[in-house]
Structure 1
Amino acid sequence: MGSVAATPEVSRIRRLTDGEFERMFKSGTFMGEESTHLMYKCILDGKQVAVFVVVAEEEELNYFRNKVKTLQNAKHKKIVGPIAYCDGKTPCVVLNLFKEGTLKDFLLRMRATGKDLDIQQKVRCSRDLADALYFLHRDHKGLLSWHRDLRPENIFMDNDGGCQLANFSISSMVVVSWLSFFWEGGGREGLTLEPCFNGRHTSRTPDTRHGTRHDDF
Structure 2
Amino acid sequence: MAAAAPTATRSAKQKEIQGLLLGRYEIGKLLGHGTFAKVYHARNVKTGENVAIKVIDKEKILKIGLIAHIKREISILRRVRHPNIVQLFEVMATKSKIFFVMEYVKGGELFNKVAKGRLKEEVARKYFQQLISAVAFCHARGVYHRDLKPENILLDEDGNLKVSDFGLSAISEQIKQDGLFHTFCGTPAYVAPEVLARKGYDAAKVDIWSCGVILFVLMAGHLPFHDQNIMAMYKKIYKGEFRCPRWFTPELIRLLSRLLDTNPETRITIPEIMNNKWFKRGFKHVKFYIEDDKLCSVNDDENDDMESLSDQSLSESESELDTRKRFARLPRPASLNAFDIISFSRGFDLSGLFEEGSDGARFVSGAPVSNIISKLEEIAKVVSFSVRKKDCRVSLEGSREGVRGPLTIAAEIFELTPSLRVVEVKKKGGDRVEYEEFCNRELKPGLQSLAPATAADSSYLPSDTE
Report the TM-score range of the alignment, normalised by the length of the smaller protein.
0.5 to 0.7
C-alpha distance in 2 between matches for 1:174 and 1:74: 14
User: Against the structure 1 CA distance between its residues 19 and 107, is the aligned structure 2 distance closer, same or farther, given a 3 Å change threshold?
Assistant: same
Q: For residues 133 and 38 of structure 1, do their structure 2 counterparts lie closer, same or farther at Cα, with a shift above 3 Å needed?
A: same
The DSSP-based 3-state class of the residue aligned with 1:164 is strand
Distance 1:171 1:196, change over 3 A: farther
Bigger Cα displacement from structure 2, 123-132 vs 48-57: 48-57
Shift of 1:214: 3.3
In 2, distance between residues paired with 1:32 and 1:168?
16
Which amino acid letter does the alignment assign opposite residue 66 of structure 1? R
Are the counterparts in 2 of residues 50 and 94 from structure 1 also a CA contact under 8 Å? yes
**For the residues of structure 2 that align with 1:154 and 1:103, how far apart are their CA atoms?**
8
Contact 1:173 1:195 in 2 (8 A): no
Deviations 1:116-166 (A, max 9, x none): 42111111111111111111112x3xxx11100010000111333231211
Q: Which residue of 1 aligns with 2:199?
A: 212
Q: CA deviation at 1:174?
A: 1.0
Matches of 1:194 and 1:103 in 2, distance apart? 30
Q: How does 1:181-192 map to 2 (within 5 A)?
A: none
* Superposed displacement of residue 20, structure 1: 6.0
Q: Which residue of 2 aligns with 1:147?
A: 145
User: Secondary structure of the residue that 2:88 maps to in structure 1?
Assistant: coil
> 1:155 & 1:88 partners in 2: Cα distance?
29
Alpha-carbon distance in 2 for matches of 1:193, 1:98: 36
Residues in 1 aligned to 2:24 and 2:195: alpha-carbon distance in whole angstroms: 38
Q: Cα gap change, 1:196/1:74 in structure 2, threshold over 3 Å: closer, same or farther?
A: farther
> 8 Å contact 1:53–1:93 — kept in the other structure?
yes
> What TM-score do the two structures reach when normalised by structure 2?
0.33
Q: Which residue is equivalent to 1:39?
A: 39
Letter in 2 for 1:99: K
- Normalized per residue, which structure has more strand? 1
Instruction: Encode CA deviations 1:70-102: one digit per residue, 9 max, x unaligned.
Output: 100111111111122214433111122232111
Distance 1:211 1:31, change over 3 A: same
The 1:210/1:24 distance shift into structure 2, 3 A limit, reads: farther
Q: Which residue of 2 aligns with 1:135?
A: 137
CA contact (8 A) 2:182 2:201 kept: no
Percent of residue pairs bearing the same amino acid type: 22
Structure 2: runs of 5 or more not aligned: 1-17, 189-193, 206-466
Deviation at 1:106, TM superposition (A): 2.3
Shift of 1:208: 6.8
Is the helix fraction higher in 1 or 2?
Answer: 2
Alpha-carbon distance in structure 1 between the residues aligned to 2:159 and 2:25: 31
Q: Distance in 1 between matches of 2:195 and 2:24?
A: 38
Q: Distance in 1 between matches of 2:55 and 2:113?
A: 25
SS at match of 1:54: strand
| 1:100–1:157 CA contact under 8 A, matched in 2 | yes
Match of 1:68 in 2: 74
Contact persistence 1:170–1:204 (CA under 8 A): yes
Residue in structure 2 matched with residue 54 of structure 1 by the alignment? 56
Aligned Cα RMSD in Å? 3.3
Map 1:6-21 → 2, pairs under 5 A: 21=21
Change (3 A) 1:127 1:121: same
Secondary structure of the residue aligned to 1:137 is helix
Per the alignment, residue 160 of structure 1 pairs with 158
**Alpha-carbon distance, 1:61 to partner:** 3.2
Kindly tell me: are residues 128 and 54 of structure 1, through their superposed partners in 2, closer, same or farther at Cα, counting changes over 3 Å?
same
Q: 1:36 to 1:176 in 2, by over 3 A?
A: closer
Code of the aligned partner of 1:53? V
| Post-superposition offset of 1:68 | 0.8
Bigger RCO of structures 1 and 2 (CA < 8 A, at least 6 apart): 1
Instruction: Work out the number of aligned pairs and report it.
Output: 173
Match of 1:118 among 117, 120, 133: 120
Deviation at 1:63, TM superposition (A): 2.8
1:30 Cα offset (Å): 2.5
Which is worse superposed, 20-29 or 118-127?
A: 20-29
Local SS of the residue matching 1:39: strand
For residues 45-81 of structure 1, the C-alpha deviation after alignment (integer angstroms, 9 at most, x for no partner) is 3222111011113134333212111100111111111
1:92 to 91, 99, 105: 99
Secondary structure at the aligned position of 1:129 is classed as helix
Displacement, 1:173? Answer: 1.0
Find the counterpart in structure 1 of residue 369 from structure 2: none
Say which one has the larger Rg. Answer: 2
The unaligned stretches of length 5 or more in structure 1 are 1-17, 178-190, 198-202
Runs of 4+, deviation exceeding 4 Å: 191-197, 206-210
**Maintained 8 Å contact 2:181/2:201:** no
